[in-house]
Structure 1
Amino acid sequence: MSGPTPLNARITTREDLGGGLFILRAVYDSGAHLEFEPGQFVNLGLPPRRAEDESGQTGLVKRPYSIASAPKDAEIEFIIRVVDGGALTPLLMELQVDDRVWMEERAIGKFTLAMLPDEPVAAERDLVMVSTGTGIAPFISMLRQFEPRQLWRRFVLINGVRIETDLGYRAELEAMAAERDDVVYVPILSKPGTDGRWTGLTGRVDSVLAPEVYEAQVGATLEPQHCQVFLCGNPNMIDEVEQDLDGRGFKRHRKRDPGQLHLERYW
């Protein structure tokens, strides 16, 4: 039997966002550059702390995480939420700069903009990205990699979270939306609190897709003729939005049967 899989990467940056939400950036010990498409993911791994956490022959507990950095970036970035009682996320949260981790050397996944059908063309196409929590990561990678209007007319990023501190990348997205006329950022809180500080949208993330709400926030309509919708995060959200949009003329995209819905369930 082979020994444990060696840790092959080093943490270069960690950023705590509060409430168990944090960002890690890492590089390979070898100096290798990871080739990937925005929207793909890799597995991270660490030796288990508890005997009951199955690590198999590799000796590591491994989980997949979407990449938030762009392929052109030197570091690989992840936004991670601690799962209470989880086998890996509490260990990842303890990592500090220069600590080591195992990071898969091959990115996988088909939740990329290579999935886009030929029609409508980029100049007539709105990309509507609906995420919950850390499901925002692949959309951050896409925005960071592609030039304005390279693959879209309008990039609408909707991120639903519980409380205000859960809005990872908020400052970056607000600045981007202020500077670029092709980016629309729509955050929404399900539990905004009672202090009145939050003045944005409240409720479930799918409420933003209601025709009157969407048009008020985006300044455009949500129609299958010109919109491609990407859903990432909570599987229940994805199922509910898919069902709703199916009744509005959207259908799941398949290579041999082009549609407008692209799905990535986070667990």
Structure 2
Amino acid sequence: MPDLSLYRHLDEMAPWNDRLQVLEVTGVIDEAPDVKTFTFRSDAQTWFRYRPGQFVTLELPTADGPLMRTYTLSSSPSRPFSLSVTVKAQPGSVGTRWMFDNLVRGSRIRARGPAGDFSHHNHPASKYLFISAGSGVTPMMSMLRWFNDCAPWTDVAFINCARRPEEIIFRKELELLGGKMPGLSLGFMIEERSSRESWFGHMGRIDAVRLPLLSPDFHEREVFCCGPEPFMRAVRSMLESAGFDMAHYHQESFGAPPVETPPAAVPDQADAAAMAIRFSDSGVEGRCLPGQTVLQAARANGVRISAACEFGLCGTCRVRKVSGEVEMSHNGGILDEEIAEGYILACCSKPLSPLEIEA
């Protein structure tokens, strides 16, 4: 007997709420060597609202305890009944390997988000240039799928780089979209040939010579770049050298920006300036030293608050502030309405007064 709740209209359903509901795996697909797409639905038959290019943080229940991992969504919100992440297992991967070994159809895991500002919705333009390498294709795929569903005439130049032909993620779908979307131009580039698959396209790395060949009018485009950090640094440097207006350049990165270490305080002074902090759910009362965040104070007092990025981007460490004031410097991991409800990000919030936190 089919589940009749699956046949409800969108206006009869509520949006997914990461505080109340979990994700259920509905499919696992092999995309390329060591690359899989995991598709999820809500366990409560709700729909997903997010911007193309955003990410979620998955809480993986490993044998050593919950493990937080942040993954960009490769699906499009134009198809709101499910969402997908496409992940590549790098050498030494722990979370991704756990997903490969343990997530099957019917598995359920907790998730936080969606979050992030890397989306064409935030930077509307008449022309776009997507530049990706490896699994950095995932946010571009989310945006391109949205364009295909909602604005297929959009002018998009897409340069997708990989090590070998068989490692081009979504290659078949991209080629199919290239035949359907009149404004889409594709440029694949590989670094080395393969015995598994013939190749007659571009070879090498994207540089100042190849970029104008693949996108002659790149100066007129809104540029989105995602890939390994060295790749993004090279692209950024190349565009700067070409005189590109970097106000129209956007890149996705989960690496924390450099943080200056505050000067060490004299012990007596630090103790005198420490703020009282109470973690109401745990029944723990402690002190937050000058320069410490709520997350650091929680760890120092033996209280567990989940955290992934730890610089205010992913939203995993969101907790509710019962009383007190904080200085919060986040990177988009919390919504204005959540702040109005009393929520803070523990990783980037420092007490300005004695605090009580639900944790």
- Shorter chain as normaliser: what TM range? 0.7 to 0.9
Aligned to 1:221: 217
Residue of structure 1 in register with 2:34 after alignment? 20
Q: Which residue of 2 aligns with 1:64?
A: 70
In the alignment, the residues of structure 2 paired with residue 83 and residue 147 of structure 1 have an alpha-carbon distance, to the nearest angstrom, of 30
Amino acid aligned to 1:62: M
Residue among 252, 259, 265 paired with 2:253: 265
Structure-2 residue corresponding to 1:249: 243
TM-score by length of 1: 0.79
Say what the alpha-carbon RMSD is for the aligned residues.
Answer: 2.5
Give the SS at the match of 1:137.
helix
Find 2:111's aligned residue among 100, 103, 112: 103
Segment drifting more, 192-201 vs 236-245 = 192-201
Structure 1 pair 232–31 and aligned structure 2 pair: CA distance change class (3 A) = same
| Secondary structure of the corresponding residue to residue 182 of structure 2 | coil
Displacement, 1:83?
2.4
Larger Rg: 2
1:46 to 57, 60, 66: 60
Aligned residue pairs: how many?
Answer: 235
Residue 98 of structure 1, CA deviation: 1.2
TM-aligned CA deviation for residue 15 of structure 1: 0.6
TM-score, normalised with respect to structure 2: 0.60
Deviation at 1:240, TM superposition (A): 1.4
Superimposed CA distance per residue, residues 68-111 of structure 1 (whole angstroms, 9 cap, x where no aligned partner): 1111222111111012322200111122111222222x211111
Unmatched runs of 5 consecutive residues or more in structure 1: 52-58, 253-258
Question: What amino acid does structure 2 have at the position aligned with 1:64?
Answer: T
**What corresponds to 2:83 in structure 1?**
76
The aligned counterpart of 1:88 is 95
Structure 2: distance between partners of 1:7 and 1:81: 26
* CA offsets 1:98-127 (integer angstroms, 9 cap, x no match): 1222222x211111113326xxxx4xx321
Q: Using a 3 Å threshold, how does the CA distance of structure 1 residues 148 and 30 change in structure 2: closer, same or farther?
A: closer
- Please give the secondary structure, in 1, of the residue aligned with 2:106: coil
Structure with more relative contact order (C-alpha pairs < 8 Å, separation 6 or more): 1
Q: How does 1:133-172 map to 2 (within 5 A)?
A: 133-146=134-147, 150=151, 153-172=154-173
Work out whether residues 37 and 112 of structure 1, in 8 Å CA contact, stay in contact via their aligned partners in 2.
Answer: yes
Which sections of structure 2, spanning at least 5 residues, go unmatched? 1-18, 256-359
Aligned letter for 1:222? F
Counterpart amino acid of 1:107? P
The alpha-carbon deviation at position 251 of structure 1 amounts to: 3.7
Aligned residue for 1:107, secondary structure, equals strand
